[in-house]
C-alpha cells in the first residue's frame, strides 16, 4: 500500500485521538421526519451480530461529509457509494473515518481514510441540503456509476471480509447496513430483485435509459444504508445500494443498487494493488482522490416480481 509522507504524518498525529473519537461518530436517533422511513407494519430489518469472526463485523459506518455504510473487501480496502465520498476533500484532517462494531453512540474500531476512488463519469450531485433534512434527486446519469473504493488504516484486524462478484447467486440475497433510525447494524434477510417492467408508474422520475444500469429491489433501506451491500449467502456482493424509493408519504417502497460488473471487480483489485489508473489529486486534508475510467454495463434482470411503486429518489 502506497501512502504519501503527508498522509503518514496526518495519520500519526490522529491515531492517538482515535479512542476519544469513538464516542462522537454516530448518527442521531432523533432525525427530521422528512427522511425516508419504513412503515412499522412492513419493517423486515433485524439486528445483526457484530462480534469477532462474525461476517458482519466487516460492515461499518463511513463518516465523511455524508454518512453511510461501507463493507470491507480485505487488505484495508472498502466499498461504498460515490455520493458519500464525492466531496471528501472538504473534510478537515481527521474527520473522514470508518467505524466498525458501532452501537449506542460508539464504535469498537476506527480507521482513518487515506484514499478514495470513484468513476470519472460520476457527476457530483447538485441541490443537496441534507443538514436541513431536505433530500435531493440524484442525477439520472449516475445510475451505474455511484460506487467508490476506499482505503483506510487503523481498524486493526477484521477477521472477515466480503467479495465483489459479477456472478453472485441471485436467488437468495441479503442487505445489511447502518440505518439512521436504528442502533447497531441491521439487515433484511432475504430480499429480492424486482424487474423494472414490474414497476412502471407515471410518477417515476427514473428514465427508461437509467433503468438499464441499476438493480431495483424490495430491500428495506433508509438514510445511512447508502453504500450497504446486497450480497448472497457466500458473502459475494452483487450490488451496492445507492438510494431509496418512497411513496408520497415518505414511506419506503423499494430501493436501488449499483450492480457489480466484471469491470468493477477488476478495478477494485487494481485499487488494492495500488495500480488503479485515473486522474489523481492529493487533497489539502491529505486524502488521495482518484477518478478512474469506467463504462457502466446494462444489468440483466434474473426474474420478474409484479409490484407497483409510486417512486421518488431520496
The Cα 217–Cα 203 span in angstroms is: 18
Predicted pLDDT of residue 29: 40
Query: Which band of pLDDT confidence, cut at 50, 70 and 90, is reported for residue 239?
Result: very high
Cell of 255: 430501493
Give per-residue pLDDT as tens, 277-308. Answer: 999 999 999 999 999 999 999 987 665 443 33
Q: How many residues does the chain have?
A: 314
Q: Which of 166, 146, 167 is nearest to 213 (CA)?
A: 146
Q: What is the pLDDT of residues 159-175, one digit of tens each?
A: 889 999 998 878 789 99
Q: What is the pLDDT of residue 220?
A: 95
Can you say whether the dihedral through the CA atoms of 7, 242, 28, 34 is positive or negative? Answer: positive
The CATH fold assigned to 5-292 is Thrombin, subunit H (2.40.10)
47-80 per-position pLDDT tens digit: 999 887 789 999 999 999 889 999 999 999 999 9
Q: Count the Cβ atoms, other than its own, within 10 Å of residue 242.
A: 30
CA distance 260 to 155: 25
Q: Is the pLDDT of residue 22 over 90?
A: no
Cell numbers 432523533 correspond to 30
Distances (CA, A) of 102 to 71, 97, 247: 13, 13, 30
Give the lowest-confidence range in 28-32, 71-75, 93-97, 283-287.
28-32
Distance, in Å, from the CA atom of 268 to the CA atom of 116, rounded to the nearest integer, reads 11
Residue 113 pLDDT greater than 70, yes or no: yes
Structural element, H or E, at residue 14: helix 5-15
**Cα gap 81→67, rounded to integer Å:** 10
DSSP letters, 122-190, are PPPP-S-BGGGTB--PPPGGGTTT--EEEEEE-----S---EE-SS---SSEEEEE--TTSSS-EEEEE
CA 230 to chain centre: 10
Domain ranges of the chain: 5-292
Amino acid at each position: 500500500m502506497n501512502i504519501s509522507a503527508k498522509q503518514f504524518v496526518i495519520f500519526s498525529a490522529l491515531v492517538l485521538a482515535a479512542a476519544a473519537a469513538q464516542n462522537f461518530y454516530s448518527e442521531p436517533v432523533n432525525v427530521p421526519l422528512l427522511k425516508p422511513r419504513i412503515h412499522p407494519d412492513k419493517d423486515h430489518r433485524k439486528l445483526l451480530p457484530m462480534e469477532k469472526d462474525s461476517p458482519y463485523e466487516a460492515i461499518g459506518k463511513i463518516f465523511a461529509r455524508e454518512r453511510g455504510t461501507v463493507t470491507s473487501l480485505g487488505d484495508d480496502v472498502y466499498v461504498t457509494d460515490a455520493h458519500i465520498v464525492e466531496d471528501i476533500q472538504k473534510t478537515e484532517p481527521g474527520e473522514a473515518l470508518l467505524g466498525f462494531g458501532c452501537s449506542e453512540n460508539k464504535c469498537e474500531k476506527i480507521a482513518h481514510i487515506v484514499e478514495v476512488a470513484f468513476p470519472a463519469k460520476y457527476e457530483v450531485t447538485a441541490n443537496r441540503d441534507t443538514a436541513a433534512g431536505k433530500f435531493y434527486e440524484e442525477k439520472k446519469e449516475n445510475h451505474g456509476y455511484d460506487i467508490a473504493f476506499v482505503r483506510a488504516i487503523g481498524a486493526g484486524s477484521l477477521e472477515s471480509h466480503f467479495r465483489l462478484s459479477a456472478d453472485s447467486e441471485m436467488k437468495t440475497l441479503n442487505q445489511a447496513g447502518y440505518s439512521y433510525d436504528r442502533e447497531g447494524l441491521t439487515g433484511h434477510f432475504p430480499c429480492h430483485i424486482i424487474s423494472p417492467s414490474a414497476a412502471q408508474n407515471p410518477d417515476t422520475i427514473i428514465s427508461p435509459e437509467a433503468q438499464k444500469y441499476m438493480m431495483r429491489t424490495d430491500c428495506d433501506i433508509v438514510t445511512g444504508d447508502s453504500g450497504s451491500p446486497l450480497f448472497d449467502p457466500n458473502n459475494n456482493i452483487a450490488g451496492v445500494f445507492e438510494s431509496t424509493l418512497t411513496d408520497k408519504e415518505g414511506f419506503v417502497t423499494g430501493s436501488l443498487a449499483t450492480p457489480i460488473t466484471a469491470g468493477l471487480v477488476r478495478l477494485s483489485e487494481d485499487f488494492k494493488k495500488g495500480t488503479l489508473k485515473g486522474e489523481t489529486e492529493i487533497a489539502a486534508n491529505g486524502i488521495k482522490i482518484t477518478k478512474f475510467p469506467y463504462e457502466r454495463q446494462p444489468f440483466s434482470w434474473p426474474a420478474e416480481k409484479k409490484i407497483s411503486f409510486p417512486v421518488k429518489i431520496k
